[in-house]
Amino acid sequence: MKLLKLNFKGFRNLEDGFIEPGEKVNVIYGENAQGKTNLLEAVWVLCGAHSFRGAKDSELVGFNSEKARLYAEFYSQNRVQNVQINFYPTQNKKDKKEILINAIPKSAAELVEKTGAVVFSPEDLTLVKSGPAFRRKFIDSAICRQKVKYASVLGKYNKTLNQRNALLKDIPKHRELMETLEIWDTALCSLGGLLIKERIDYIKKLNLCAEEYHDGISSGREVLKITYDTNFETENLTSQQLAEEMLKKLRAGVKEDLMRGYTGTGPHRDDVNMEINGVSARNFGSQGQQRSTVLSLKLAEARLHREITGENPIVLLDDVLSELDNSRQDYLLNKTENYQVFITCCEESNKEQLKNGRIFKIDRGKVRLMSSL
Ligand SMILES: Nc1ncnc2c1ncn2[C@@H]1O[C@H](COP(=O)(O)OP(=O)(O)O)[C@@H](O)[C@H]1O
Ligand SMILES: [Mg+2]
């Protein structure tokens, strides 16, 4: 996918206007709080109708606007297409949005299916160090972008999990409810089995790509290995068998679950193991090794997107360059040179690779094209 034109109206602090990005590198520079991330967010929203900062739709609308509109022309699936997203948060006091692809109303899931983007921001640099929830989110959102059905299974799983947890809290007061627990257990495990299977399959592919990138970044000195971490053996099991294994664990832990009022087994508790040369990158990796690991993972995510969907994703790099040392910066720029890339930074960079792209300056929400090669 390549973005050819992007129009924004009433979006965050951006002054109404448009940009025509170049096919390769697009640098967006400007001082702090001028709207660089907002512009990247606009690109991301056009690829999935939600923010990468976890913002509500209503927060995307400019303080002085009643609605926001994003419009883009993009090249994908061998043709020029367009997408328009309208946000009307004030109507009925509810978030309301409208997505049109090639002028036909569509769902956010259909938009995700048609577009593709990978975002890399400074918060991602803590992926290795942070808690499991952050890693689960990384894996889940990567799979969601490549397999739309996964998002709906994940939604159903979370709903079922909430219902089971509510039931666990009610049972001590109403023992007769114990009988209904079994129904929820079976439902939870069949969805859980599907999620675990998808995650294992994705992580296997991610591992192959990330290992190769990490080998490149570390000049062959380090071997990165990524595996799925759950509390039972998963090797070569189908989703059905994984569901059965999960059910065994769930049943074995019912007593504890009832005491805590919380479900202790399942994909919502799992993690992704990352090892460098056989030891945990989280516990023993240096900061540099942890950063290289995240860089390898992000590059692997982009490449897998292409391998799975057949389309290059747009790559959004929000302020990450300044967080990486020179050699990692060069590696990242080098490995993303076949993608359309949007990079934000505070100053006009001296990097030759960046000078070969289109350069935009942003000042109090006003975007101007400064140079184009
Ligand atoms: N909905 C909104 N309407 C108007 N301004 C907004 C909105 N949301 C954020 N802003 C403003 O955008 C600016 C931050 O933009 P951002 O893109 O994060 O800056 P940076 O250039 O540092 O990446 C802040 O000044 C913030 O007040
Ligand atoms: Mg920013």
Residue-level pLDDT at 92: 61
State the CATH number of the domain containing residue 210: 1.20.1050.90
User: Which pLDDT score, from 0 to 100, does residue 51 have?
Assistant: 77
Residues 140 and 279 in one domain: yes
Mean pLDDT value across residues 42-49? 92
31 assigned to a ligand binding site = yes
User: How remote is the CA of residue 18 from the centroid of ligand 1, in Å?
Assistant: 17
Binding site annotation covers 108?
Answer: no
Rounded Cα gap, residues 224 and 215, in angstroms: 8
- pLDDT at position 93 is 55
CA distance 220 to 67: 52
In the block, which residue shows the tokens 């100053």? 347
pLDDT for res 90: 64
- pLDDT, tens only, 115-134: 999 999 999 999 999 999 99
Of all residues in the chain, the percent with pLDDT exceeding 90 is 87
**Residue 30 counted as an annotated binding residue:** yes
The predicted-structure confidence for 159-193, as pLDDT tens digits, reads as follows 999 999 999 999 999 999 999 999 999 999 999 99
Same domain, 153 and 245: yes
| Same domain (yes/no): 176, 282 | yes
The pLDDT confidence band at residue 356, using thresholds 50, 70 and 90, is confident
**In whole angstroms, what is the distance from residue 78 CA to residue 68 CA?**
29
Q: What is the pLDDT of residue 347?
A: 83
Q: Report, as an integer, the average pLDDT of 61-84.
A: 95
Which of 8, 11, 13 to probe ligand 1 with, by most ligand atoms within 8 A of CB? 13
Lowest pLDDT segment from 74-78, 208-212, 349-353, 363-367: 349-353
What token pair was written down for 190? 């069949």
Residue 121 domain flag: no
Same domain flag for 136 and 236: yes
Which residues, other chains included, contact 35 with Cβ-Cβ below 8 Å and sequence gap of 6+?
A: 12, 13, 14, 362, 364, 365, 367
66 and 160 part of one domain: no
Instruction: Tell me which residue has its CA closest to atom 8 in ligand 1.
Output: 12
Domain check: are 269 and 168 in the same one? yes
CB-based pocket (< 6 A), ligand 1: 12-13, 30, 32-38, 59, 61-63
Which atom from ligand 1 is nearest to the alpha carbon of 62?
Answer: 3
Ligand 1 atom nearest to CA at 40: 17
| DSSP per-residue letters across 39-77 | HHHHHHHHTTSS-TT---HHHHB-TT-S-EEEEEEEEET
Listed range (48-62, 68-82, 199-213, 330-344) with the worst mean pLDDT:
48-62
Mean pLDDT of the chain: 94
Domain termination site, one of 309, 344, 365: 309
CA distance 344 to 31: 10
Q: Indicate which residue's Cα is closest to atom 3 of ligand 1.
A: 62
- Ligand-binding site membership of 33 (annotated): yes
Q: 22: closest CA among 341, 361, 257?
A: 341
Domain of residue 58, residue span: 1-116+311-373
Q: What is the pLDDT of residue 238?
A: 98
Ligand 1 nearest-atom number relative to CA 362: 21
In the 8-state DSSP scheme, what is residue 173? T
pLDDT at residue 332, rounded to an integer: 94
Which ligand is the nearest neighbour of the Cα of 361? Answer: 1
Close Cβ partners of 59 (under 8 Å, ≥ 6 residues apart)? 51
Mean pLDDT across 248-271: 97
Report the CATH number at residue 79: 3.40.50.300
Given pLDDT bands bounded at 50, 70 and 90, which one contains residue 85? Answer: very high
Residue 161 and residue 303 share a domain: yes
Please state, in angstroms and rounded to a whole number, the distance separating the CA atoms of residues 86 and 71: 9
Q: Pick 351 or 305 by higher pLDDT.
A: 305
Question: Do 185 and 295 share a domain, yes or no?
Answer: yes
Task: Report the chain's terminal Cα–Cα distance, integer Å.
Answer: 20
Classify residue 225: in a domain, yes or no. Answer: yes
User: Residues 292-315: pLDDT tens digits?
Assistant: 999 999 999 999 999 999 999 999
Q: Looking at residues 137-145, what average pLDDT do you find?
A: 93
- Count: domains in the chain: 2
Reported as type and span, the H/E element at residue 158 is: helix 148-170
Residue nearest to atom 19 of ligand 1 (CA): 33
End position of a domain, from candidates 258, 282, 309: 309
180 among annotated binding-site residues: no
Query: Beta strands 358-363 and 25-29: pairing type?
Result: parallel
pLDDT surpasses 80 at 340 = yes
What are the φ/ψ torsions at residue 16 (nearest 5 degrees)? -50, 130
